[in-house]
Amino acid sequence: MNDNILIMKHVSFAISLNCNLRCKLCGAYAPYYSNNKFPDIVIIKERLHNFFKLVDYVEWLSISGGEPLLYHKLPQVLSELQHYFNKIGKLEIVTNGTIVPSNDLLNTVVSFKKVNFYFFVDNYGKKISTKIDEISAKLKEFQIPFKVRDYYSENKHCGGWVDYSLLKE
């Protein structure tokens, strides 16, 4: 066995900190940032290249944010990741249930052959995650696996959702 191999269990790659919600469980602390810009695709490609020069294998890679579906170049990011599919076990996109994925993005996902890909769609209730039904229907239409995580009912995930914008700054 080679001792110089670096295998990571779970890595989250935040596309940007731009988000249209202010979730209490935001792992990227997006509610606390303002004036975020989306990184140029060249910078993202460089970051991925540098990451995979160091890391031999990632068992589970999450594309997150902020809200990754706000980034209009997300299909290009996923296309770039295809160069590293032999180094990725599972690939997921984590979204907040407010934006329906574009056909361009979903066609890119469907073109994947070597990676276990799926969406995590967070559901904060019908008043907030207004697109859950549309997103679910579209993912089913494209035969893309997904899971909806419940943040609003009696069985809410991780204690539920709090809108930080309601708190005094």
Tokens encoding 27: 């792992």
Q: Are strands 7-14 and 57-64 parallel, antiparallel or unpaired?
A: parallel
Q: What is the pLDDT of residue 167?
A: 43
Whole-angstrom distance, CA of residue 139 vs CA of residue 145: 7
pLDDT at 9 over 60: yes
| Residue among 143, 144, 102 nearest 120 (CA) | 144
- Which tokens hold the place of 168? 């005094």
Q: In this structure, are residues 97 and 121 in contact, taking their beta carbons and an 8 Å threshold?
A: yes
Confidence of residue 75 (pLDDT cuts 50, 70, 90): very high
Q: Which residue has the tokens 């679910």?
A: 136
Q: Is 76 helix (H, G, I), strand (E, B) or coil?
A: helix
The DSSP bridge partners found for residue 90 are 60, 116
Average confidence score pLDDT of the chain = 84
Convert the pLDDT of each residue in 44-66 to its tens digit.
999 999 999 999 999 999 998 88
Single-letter amino acid, residue 59: E
Q: What is the mean pLDDT of residues 5-29?
A: 81
How much is the pTM? 0.82
